Structure 1
Amino acid sequence: MNYGFIGFGNLAKAVYQGLKDEPNINFGYFSRHKKEVEIPFFESAKSLAEFADVLWLAIKPQDLAGILEQLQPLDLSGKVIVSPVAGKSIAFIEKYLGTDPIIVRIMPNLAIAYKKSVTAFATNHPGLEQTEHIYEILGKLGKAVKLDENGFDLFTSVFGSGPAFILSFIQIFKNKMREFDLPGSLLDELLLELTQGTTIYFAQNQKDFSIEELIKNITSKGGTTQAGLDYYRNHEIGKLFEGVLEAAKNRSIEMSKD
């Protein structure tokens, strides 16, 4: 099986990092500029398409139409087009390539490099061996979920953009912790322990307790955690953060109309 990346930015590198040790997969890429990477470079989208069984459209949304125009005259019979391009539907790709090519739309995040991505999956040809192969591969890179395309905008805001939002929240902790007058690198280590410990706590207990119950287990009546949570709830900070997710979702919707 030959995988070809059109574009080799952060996402393509993450996919490659997650898959490079899989047996029987060969890799190649095409991009505007040759990269210092260990996989073969192809001079054009056409030459890459001739090599690849699976074409990954690892490009920015504003570049998608131009790439699809290059692919339009090619024979794509039997090939799978995988698109992680935010805000661009299968129907958008079909406007250029028609409905015959096998198109898989996905929405991963950069944790795919560490086999910890949460990835949405949709296709215009469900049930085919080729599409199930992609779904199984994504399952090796974390958690994959088959999702109606109508849910992709919200999924993008929560799971595609989510790592950046979570890190931004952690940054708030770090900024406050600067009052300790400790080195920034040590603050990062302490925050890493905090987040890893919290994740383990959630992972070990999520089957038996809701998130609300897990929070309650940490909270002593009248204590420091209670004081912080009261401020959080009284100022409706949760609603503000929902606004962050809604803004990302709305931008995904806007991009689908461009």
Structure 2
Amino acid sequence: MQKIIFIGAGSIAEALIHGWVENNVIQPESVYISNRSNQQRLQQLSSKYGVQQLEGYEQLTGADLIILAVKPKDARLAMDAIKPFIEPHVSILSVLAGISIATIEDHLGERPIARVMPNTSATIGMSASGIAFNKLINDVQHAQYIQMLEAVGIVIEVEEDKLHAVTALSGSGPAYLYYLVEAFERVGTEFGLSKEIVRELMIQTIAGSAEMLKSVNEEPEVLRKKVTSPGGTTEAGIKALDAMAFNDAIANCIRSAENRSRELARGE
């Protein structure tokens, strides 16, 4: 792929650029980046990764792939702005939360389109991505996009409507885990431990637990019960979580994110 253009230069765009450049999936000189107004951000990414800054939309000519990576609220204006400059054969890879393939087709015309929801762990090759394709994606493009995303983590193909759930679970999921660690740090320091010690403990605890889920053929409930001795410290903690309706809080969190993704699809 000779020329890839990012429309938008936020955290997901940087995560993908970092992962792809680091893993030699793409050559930085073939990547162009743009955003609406933050020239300093473009200069930062250009200096850090060796990618090119898009000087104007006329440089969209000759693109092989355009990656839509703006904020969802800016998506429709951005698509309308670039439409006159995109050649009919150019395919689109969208990382826009909630913006449907049909909406992209309305603004950019019928063309090969893939929607993917990665997360920022693509930076370290650990993204969990969901992807959906329109009917104009051919077998070569399908394989190519899957390969590109597998270079920065795992990718699972789903029906487009299920991307709302993927967005809520794995797209937003890192933020919820970071929020959990913030809570552990706050209470850990109350007991006299330094934030650095608490963080080191929690990083290893989360990494170890994730590896157990990945490597051991047992359900999360079984693994939880193995840690939870009757009358012990873990049971006391679980009871406190139950008293605060922990499961309901998590369910509301995911449902709210999934619902917001659907609102963005409707332009709300």
- 1:34-183 equivalences under 5 Å are 34-36=42-44, 37=46, 38-47=50-59, 49-99=60-110, 101-124=111-134, 125-183=136-194
Please give the alpha-carbon distance, in whole angstroms, between the structure 2 residues aligned to 1:180 and 1:234: 22
Structure 2 residue 256 is the aligned partner of structure 1 residue 252: no
1:216-255 aligned within 5 A: 216-255=225-264
Indicate the SS of the match to 1:199. helix
Aligned partners of 2:240 and 2:262: how far apart in 1? 33
Is this contact kept in 2: 1:80–1:131, CA < 8 A?
no
* Distance change (3 Å), C-alpha of 1:81 and 1:16: same
Shift of 1:182: 2.8
**Partner in structure 2 of residue 29 of structure 1:** 33
Aligned-partner SS, 1:73? helix
State the AA in 1 paired with 2:58.
Answer: K
1:13-70 Cα distance to aligned partner (Å, 9 max, x none): 11011001425642121223242222111212331x2242111111111221122112
Distance of 2:193 and 2:226 partners within structure 1: 30
What's the secondary structure of 1:87's corresponding residue? coil
- Mean CA deviation greater in 124-133 or 83-92: 124-133
Matching residue's letter, 2:130: A
Query: TM-score by structure 1 length?
Result: 0.92
Q: Judge conservation of contact 1:46–1:70 (CA < 8 Å) in 2.
A: no
Residue in 2 that maps onto 1:7: 8
Tell me the SS of whatever aligns to 2:209.
Answer: helix
The whole-number CA distance in structure 2 between the counterparts of 1:225 and 1:60 is: 41
Q: Is the 8 A contact 1:86 1:252 kept in 2?
A: yes
Q: Is the 8 A contact 2:25 2:148 kept in 1?
A: no
Letter of the structure 1 residue corresponding to residue 12 of structure 2:
L
SS at structure 2 position matched to 1:209: coil
How large is the Cα RMSD of the aligned pairs?
1.7
User: Are residues 235 and 182 of structure 1, via their aligned partners in 2, closer, same or farther at CA, if it must alter by over 3 Å?
Assistant: closer
The answer (yes or no) to whether the contact 2:63–2:90 under 8 Å persists in 1 is: yes
TM-score if structure 2 supplies the norm length? 0.88
Gaps of 5+ in 2: none
> Is residue 8–residue 33 contact of structure 2 (8 Å, CA) maintained in 1?
yes
4+ residue stretches of structure 1 with deviation over 3 A?
Answer: none
* CA deviation string 1:89-136 (max 9, x = no partner): 00001111222x111111010011111111111111244312321122
Deviation at 1:175, TM superposition (A): 1.2
Number of corresponding residues: 254
Q: Helix, strand or coil: the match of 1:85?
A: coil
Distance 1:23 1:143 in 2: 15
SS at match of 2:43: coil
Alignment identity in percent? 27
In 1, the alpha carbon distance for the partners of 2:132 and 2:25 equals: 25
The residue type equivalent to 1:195 in the other structure is: I
